[in-house]
Amino acid sequence: MPLRLIFMGTPDFAVPTLLELAGHGHEIAAVYTRAPKPGGRRGLALVPTPIETEARRLGIPVVTPKTLKTEEALTAFRAHQADAAVVVAYGMILPQAILDAPKLGCYNLHASLLPRWRGAAPINRAIMAGDAETGVMVMKMDVGLDTGDVAMAERLPITDAMTASDLHDQLARIGADLMVRAMAALERGGLTLTKQADAGVTYAAKIEKAEARIDWSKPANAVLRHIHGLSPFPGAWSEVTLDGEAVRLKILRCALADGRGEPGAVINEQLTIACADGAVRVTELQRAGKGPMKAADFLRGTRVAPGLRFG
């Protein structure tokens, strides 16, 4: 029989998993998500999370507790009488009592190959570190930070063309299928758990805006991975003087290119910028207050001559 599940998630990344679980006939007793936040025009309206929007469309009850650590929250959670809970980027710590409430446990979808990149920003950090591959894993949760036993995994190569947005979308789709397979195995009583390795643990710290400035004194591949790992948010940026004015540009996409020069120097009219070793050609960028645009469109309206310096 299909499982009776509690689904706990918040951002876009979690939506495919919710849809796949519901589409495969599992009964979603309740959806837990973060409370709506002010947003929209002038920030006056409360904007629901992507998961709340989908849950309400599907007619699933939505719960937005401020904490799960009270007896009242535990009682409400238990009242759903769920077989298991599925957790995807929920954004709130689950205490032991909550983890113990579903009779089959709580299962998290995490966007890395654990134990590498435990924590908040595994997609960004994998790209920025130059990793050749990443993936998604389903683990049975414990009270540690992404330390639970692993049930299933899918691997995915990281190419130099991938941005964090690209990787996010691919892993969200792969992860949804993986969680459906994991819940099918759990339903049959055939889900095997394996302890994580003690070696190779790394932590994916939250992305800070202070680390978004591009350091052109690094090799071209490191610059490219830094740019793509922060695209589109918060966006890696650099300053350049255009028409006598200092302008901040976010660089959203680039490609490795031939050429050399002083780090940060433009070396041709195709917006190729020298790094410590090699160069990158900017293919998509965003000027402050403007929308993203292709470099070719930017160059039609802005003269960027060789010798101009980014810093």
Annotated binding residues for (6S)-5,6,7,8-tetrahydrofolate: 112-115
What lies within 8 Å, CB to CB, of 75 at 6+ separation is none
Cα distance between the two ends of the chain: 60
> Residue ranges for the binding site?
112-115
User: What DSSP designation does 211 have?
Assistant: G
Answer for the pair 26, 183: CB distance below 8 angstroms, yes or no: yes
Query: Looking at residue 30, what DSSP letter applies?
Result: E
CB 216 within 8 A of CB 276: yes
CB 1 within 8 A of CB 25: no
Nearest-Å Rg of the Cα atoms of the chain is: 22
Cβ count near 40 (within 10 Å): 9
Distances (CA, A) of 78 to 70, 98, 102, 144: 12, 8, 7, 22
Beta strands in 89-148 (DSSP E): 106-110, 118-119, 133-140
Structure tokens at 282: 């900017």
Residue located via tokens 């992507």: 50
